[in-house]
Amino acid sequence: MAKATKKQALGRGLSALLNDPKNDIKSVSDKNADQVIGQIVELDINRIEVNPFQPRTQFNEETLRELASSIQELGVIQPITVRKTGFNKFQLVSGERRYRASKMIGLNTIPAYVRLANDQEMLEMALVENIQRQDLDPIEIALSYQRLIKDINLTQEQLSERVGKNRSTIANYLRLLKLDPIVQTGMRDGFISMGHGRALVNIEDPQIQLEVYEQILLDKLSVRETEELVRDFKSPKKIKSRRKQEIPEFIKDGVRDFSEYFGHKITVKVSKDKSGKITIPFHSKEDFNRILKLIKGAK
């Protein structure tokens, strides 16, 4: 109990230093910087802004509520990390789920590890920290690798050293970004695995890629079965026999728009008189409800 009380008092003391405008800490050489930078401080949650460099774009509401319930019962066990951006102003480096969950239950303060960093260091810290997470989908990881290479100007070899991954692993993730956006969405939503994606990326023709993707979903194909199917589709003779009826020019663009809107490859059958039928597939109750909301929202 004595240790816990001492830790709380220390946190309050550090917070007091941050609220002193005359001795605002702007660099590691400033007075009392060693007592704040690199320390865990109880910060006003409203003084913290979301990280604009956050590579993660999806936050599951159900798991956020579960985390919020845990925090309400046990408190924030692992502090978030922030950087100081101005007098009593901070920006998230990592821990956005903890931050969001804490705000969800109305916490006024949150324990935070304070750092100083410029924008490039901030982006790199956020990306590298994000990549180490276990709950990211393959596309999020690939996008993080891509940003590190483009925005931080790293080579794949340098990136390999920074994140502790083999160069071949990084290259495999980056190749996933060549997949059609619909296939990428399917991977992010968990309909297919990274193994399926790695097989599909070997098909350059987007239309054939989407045909194989749809067959994976309909037949619940394994990665090995997908690899065999891809080999079949890459054979010119089999491609010709598998190709479906040509779609008239006047609806080709519309079919593409339909597919991107609903997140699935839309099937169109056209008769000789140019009339036809549009089929929208779904793969679960949740997927059906998602499509239903899209249709209702378009009214």
Whether the CB-CB separation of 263 and 254 falls below 8 Å is answered with: no
Whether the CB-CB separation of 14 and 35 falls below 8 Å is answered with: yes
Whether the CB-CB separation of 99 and 123 falls below 8 Å is answered with: no
Using DSSP, state whether 91 is helix, strand or coil. strand
Is 96 in the active site? Answer: yes
Q: How many CA atoms lie within 13 A of 53 on its CB side?
A: 25
* CA atoms of 187 and 183, how far apart (whole Å): 6
Alpha-helical runs (H) found in the chain: 2-18, 33-36, 61-74, 96-104, 119-131, 138-151, 156-163, 167-175, 181-188, 194-200, 206-219, 223-233, 236-242, 249-262, 285-297
For the chain, what's the residue count? 299
Which residue in this structure is represented by tokens 């003084």?
47
Using DSSP, state whether 42 is helix, strand or coil. strand
* CA atoms of 192 and 224, how far apart (whole Å): 13
What does DSSP say about strands 89-94 and 48-49: parallel, antiparallel, or unpaired?
parallel
Partners of 279 in the β-ladder: 267
Q: Which of 66, 96, 246, 286 is catalytic?
A: 96
What is each CA distance from 56 to 2, 4, 141, 142, 188, in whole angstroms?
Answer: 39, 34, 9, 11, 12
Write the CB contacts of 239 (distance below 8 Å, at least 6 apart in sequence). 208, 233
Write out the catalytic residue numbers. Answer: 96
